[in-house]
Structure 1
């Protein structure tokens, strides 16, 4: 039997992590939680958020239910309706920071402990419809290896990474390696979309908007991250999280830049919509409260 506390620390961790049991890990995510375009060619301003969550089409069938649930009102419902109920109880519209305790996100993980048939039919929904968020590669690594069922790691289609420029080498080491015990590709083999919140650029008051953006795009650490990660995931979205002047941050928050007035005030495309940068979708976003964590 596998020791549930064997993952006391990530194999090549650069910092100490407390032990995480298999059940603790499963609960933690519930509790907390090719044609290359020109670098500055804009993507449509109404670039829609992709639907990362297709769990309802991938949950295994449970047509042969055990006698213990034959009389259950829940299992008398059509299977599709049951799956919608599971999705409602096990899906959060917010990113789930891991490891962070005491953030329920209005999820109901206790549902999975009700009985084995519900667990087998609903557990997949949890991992396919939520977006784990990590601030260190060791967190992502230990999360993947400490799951109660390792196959769940293959079901996660989308994650968010919060990367500081000073930690670039920590992340690129995880992106570049193919080591079985520690790598993005091996830890999360089902990953299709990746969002990176990159904190590094600084607003230079002496420069205008375009000059600031051009300076950020030349950041060698940013380029290193992009070149490393784009070979691991099919789609990468990278947000440059910058502490912008208050007026500019408010304009972006109000969605300005979509029309002529916004274009006049914010002429540089990165401040208004996604652009294509070396294989990644990229744009500027005002630094948020969570980015200071």
Structure 2
């Protein structure tokens, strides 16, 4: 006698389940189950408020990474990041001096050759501010397009806090590697480290959800070709962000549910610590 094949979760294709939402009757996996007064309901029914009598008693719905599913504005963080990048870009066009103060530079003299500037001179904030800084219209347009294409899905599947953590740590890792290799007497700026972190995370997420990897792998390959084919691109930020994104995303969606939180914050702490150690060692070398 053949065993009947169970259906896939409607939110996570490839994940088999025998549980159905008591409201819409669609199959849902353990990561999508929300306790209701009778049985379980799916996150979409909870978000739409279509369940019966569960609004005050149901557990908070969770993403595949364990993050909260919030009702309304599913791409709030992505839109906020795009808005912040665009705002800083406009301010930089109005006041070019802002770029000089925010760009990532390891060690250099200022325009009057009087004062040493850069991360090695104690201006560590440049590691973060440079991630939100763009100078050319094509640069910010390309980065924001990728952020818009990749960010929405990642924010929905990881949850806002984990998604923002992924973005910021990937950007920091990219800045740290750039500072280590190529930031002496040379400025670097752009959200590319963070964006490449999203690219790496998207590969891990699509693999976890058992979706077709070819589109995202083609996008990664295309961007890597551009990275190394064009002069003037800080490939260090791209590679640093990409590696960090893969590590963090694997911890967020690849571990067992029981150890998920421990694995996630261990990976995030590791990426942060490695970035910090890299910056400290490079600063000591430049002193």
Q: TM-score, normalised by structure 1?
A: 0.27
**Larger strand proportion, structure 1 or 2?**
1
**Larger helix proportion, structure 1 or 2?**
2
Q: TM-score, normalised by structure 2?
A: 0.28
